[in-house]
Structure 1
Amino acid sequence: MLPILLSSQIAFSADVGDFWETPQHGGNVFNRLPASTELYSDLSAYNASWVRIAYDKWPSESRDFLLGDADDYQGLVPADLKTLKGEIQRAGDAGLKVVISPLSLPAYRWAQNNNGKFDGRLFSDKANWEKAAAFWKDLASELKDSPHVAAYNIINEPAPEKQSSLKEHASASEMKDWYEKVKGSSRDLPAFYEHIVAAIREVDSNTPIMVDAGWYAAADSFNYWEKTLSDDKVLYSFHMYEPYEVTSAPNLRRDVPLTYPGNAPFGDNQSMRWDKAQVAEYLNQPVEWAKSVGLPTNKLVAGEFGCARKVDNCAAYLMDVIAALDANQLHWAFYSFREDAWDAMNYELGTKGNVGWKYWQAMEEGKPDPTKYSSSGLFSIIQQKL
């Protein structure tokens, strides 16, 4: 029987398959080492249907995994490509669809692999787009026949606005005014995506492509996009950690941590009330944008969301975010699943559990995480919605 689609949805073309036609729920795996088969099998057993994988932390003989050198891309690193393909196969064998999500591109090295410094070259000179396009053309050529790859996520959390005059969480009118000034320039994110999509389509006409909103994929950053991209197999992704001053791990180091629900700084507002209603209102922005440009809601993805698990009322926050996403029948993936270098959003540990010294020792020695995991009351909030 064919799936029944709501009026706000539209089927992807038949040659792409029907995976994204109905809401898909999964998790993010951004680990320092390729994951064990058990990790993917357990994620699948929790009823996740997809996993978003970033490989940039993995060890490589080269400066940058898969890229070789983000400063001078000359082609995919064969050994790294083999490792990536093996990871995709393990996830696929576990019953998960895979979204590949680089944290770095040529001329855009992820800050944590760049001595903590933001690398803005990709969006400061349009000439740098060519190497990024070459990389994606090469990678799509290698992955196009995989039955497990559900989408290519061009770049995780781009920020072409960062070194410009546009502030984070500016008003919609301020964003639109800014975009009018930068349209056609190296900071034109939709134009950048059009360029990369065209390169991918030279070698792969079928695989869906996922694009993150600007300003680190903020849910309000589609507000300046005048239209969708020209390719009809594109998914539009945003992330949700707002209010970041509450949900992030640094909040736990405050003398008096901020709580949810409660007041927190956001944009120009130094004390904004965040609760279930405000979360829903904020997450309705990409939905309203989609409606304004004629985009079906089944092409919207919350590619990441979460909160530091020890934050007061993280459970309520997760429930409220998922409720808002599910109310609009959006695809989503929680952050993160069994991260092996950072336990702050490892919800299987609950609100008070700790990984133990062997976890940190394994990280120092470059060995796999030895922790044995199981569900918790906190994780069950996500588990029951997967």
Structure 2
Amino acid sequence: MDFWSVPRHGGNSFNRLPPDQAYFEALRGYGASWVRLSYDKWQPAQRDFLLGDADHYQGLPEADLDRLRATLDRAHQAGLKVVITPLSLPGMRWSQNNQGQFDDRLWQDKRFWTQAAAFWRDLARELKDHPAIAAYNLINEPAPEKQGGLAEHAPAQQMQQWYAQARGGSRDLPALYRQLLAAIREVDTRTPVMVDAGWYAGADAFSYWPEPLPDERVLYSVHMYEPYAATSAPNMARKQPFAYPGPVPFAGELQHWDGQRVGQYLAQPLAWVDAMKVPRSRLVVGEFGCMRRLPGCRQYLEDVLTVLERNRLHWAFYSFREDSWDGMDYELGSAKVPGRYWQAIEQGIPDTLPRRATAEFEPIRQRLAQ
């Protein structure tokens, strides 16, 4: 837990191929101290990487585990700490590995909770002594509320009323976390655990949690892409994209978004940890970003980072040298990528596009270097 006693800055790795040594060395070279590592795009030994089959977990496939360990070894050699971050759990297959369909089974049937606990017990047993591991991020961007009757970005009082009804049921996210945490602690009492807020790790979605988890080695994580209507890929396909700063749809109404509004929105998880008497050193912004080709992207990154730095929070930008999607790979600048980028994806070979410290990357680069 000592690693997290001072602000830590890093990047997200959501690549289709396990990152090589040069990748980790480059991220460390910018000054990053950690990487949030997802493996769900890697070629699995069976149906789902490390899970075997998200429909019915029966144990960790050894070939997948070996591949993960080798990747952790490379990160450690580069001097980076790693937060392991699954995008899928039993009964919750990541939509991009599920024909684009949201998988709600984990939030309907606690039988999958038991399988998820078995998975995390097994994984913690295997990884607890690896020197690269800085935390286990139990699941990326859970959304039990999505099909459970709670609107995204609902007012805090409405969220709390919803949770009063959902508590104890299969959509009770804090209860799932308690079960996974208990399973991990059976085999690993020391490694920190990172938990994302609900509604895709929305920065306002801890609002309904009545108490923190009963473990002092827990980090609470939110993601920051709001206003999503401006920062995301669909905006770039609009005839007239929403600009940042500017008026953008959010929570059912048009709101003006700028640095001040970003600060107001990110004040919500800060208020929650303060109210719960959780140290701010336990709050993480595990992802943030915007489409690099959006003219206001650099300003958006600057505004978000200004808030994070002012409050001395841990953060990891999305994303570093992603080899399956170029949208938030800021080292590529603001130009379209050439055809060979997409050809490499189709052929399953490494992406060889050169990266450099562009103007779009500058807000992040400056702060990593501090």
Q: TM-score if structure 2 supplies the norm length?
A: 0.98
Shift of 1:340: 0.3
| Mapping 1:98-137, distance limit 5 Å | 98-137=82-121
SS of 1:273's equivalent in the other structure is: strand
Aligned to 1:7: none
Shift of 1:300: 0.2
Shift of 1:356: 1.7
Aligned to 2:337: 355
Supply the distance in 2 between the matched residues of 1:96 and 1:253 (Cα, whole angstroms): 36
Unaligned residue ranges in structure 2 (runs of 5+): none
Unaligned residue ranges in structure 1 (runs of 5+): 1-15
The partner residue of 2:311 within 328, 336, 347 is 328
Aligned to 2:275: 292
Q: Deviations over 1:234-291 (max 9, x none)?
A: 000000000000000111111111101101111122x111000000000010000001
Shift of 1:165: 1.0
**What amino acid is the match of 1:314?**
C
**Contact 2:17-2:42 at 8 Å conserved across structures:** yes
**Contact 2:45-2:61 at 8 Å conserved across structures:** no
Supply the distance in 2 between the matched residues of 1:153 and 1:25 (Cα, whole angstroms): 16
Supply the distance in 2 between the matched residues of 1:214 and 1:223 (Cα, whole angstroms): 10
**Contact 2:194-2:219 at 8 Å conserved across structures:** yes
SS of 1:119's equivalent in the other structure is: coil
Aligned to 1:6: none
Aligned to 1:80: 64
The partner residue of 2:346 within 364, 367, 382 is 364
| Mapping 1:1-386, distance limit 5 Å | 16=1, 18-269=2-253, 271-352=254-335, 354-386=336-368
Aligned to 1:9: none
Runs of 4+ deviating beyond 3 Å: none
The number of equivalent residue pairs is 368
Shift of 1:359: 1.4
SS of 2:304's equivalent in the other structure is: helix
Q: Deviations over 1:64-93 (max 9, x none)?
A: 011110001110000000000111111111
**What amino acid is the match of 1:238?**
V
Supply the distance in 2 between the matched residues of 1:311 and 1:247 (Cα, whole angstroms): 8
SS of 1:383's equivalent in the other structure is: helix
Supply the distance in 1 between the matched residues of 2:88 and 2:52 (Cα, whole angstroms): 11
**What amino acid is the match of 1:89?**
D
SS of 1:211's equivalent in the other structure is: strand
Supply the distance in 2 between the matched residues of 1:25 and 1:84 (Cα, whole angstroms): 22
Supply the distance in 2 between the matched residues of 1:115 and 1:253 (Cα, whole angstroms): 22
Q: Deviations over 1:289-337 (max 9, x none)?
A: 0011111000000000000001121000000000011111110000000
Identity %, equivalent residues: 57
Shift of 1:355: 3.0
Supply the distance in 1 between the matched residues of 2:111 and 2:58 (Cα, whole angstroms): 15
Supply the distance in 1 between the matched residues of 2:214 and 2:359 (Cα, whole angstroms): 44
Supply the distance in 2 between the matched residues of 1:196 and 1:150 (Cα, whole angstroms): 17
Supply the distance in 2 between the matched residues of 1:262 and 1:377 (Cα, whole angstroms): 21
Supply the distance in 2 between the matched residues of 1:195 and 1:291 (Cα, whole angstroms): 25
Supply the distance in 1 between the matched residues of 2:170 and 2:251 (Cα, whole angstroms): 25
Supply the distance in 2 between the matched residues of 1:122 and 1:60 (Cα, whole angstroms): 21
Supply the distance in 2 between the matched residues of 1:357 and 1:127 (Cα, whole angstroms): 45
SS of 2:248's equivalent in the other structure is: strand
Shift of 1:131: 0.1
Supply the distance in 2 between the matched residues of 1:127 and 1:364 (Cα, whole angstroms): 37
Supply the distance in 2 between the matched residues of 1:292 and 1:88 (Cα, whole angstroms): 36
Shift of 1:196: 0.2
Greater alpha carbon shift after TM alignment, 149-158 vs 372-381? 372-381
**Contact 2:134-2:192 at 8 Å conserved across structures:** yes
Supply the distance in 2 between the matched residues of 1:230 and 1:293 (Cα, whole angstroms): 12
Supply the distance in 2 between the matched residues of 1:248 and 1:81 (Cα, whole angstroms): 33
Supply the distance in 2 between the matched residues of 1:122 and 1:48 (Cα, whole angstroms): 34
SS of 1:152's equivalent in the other structure is: strand
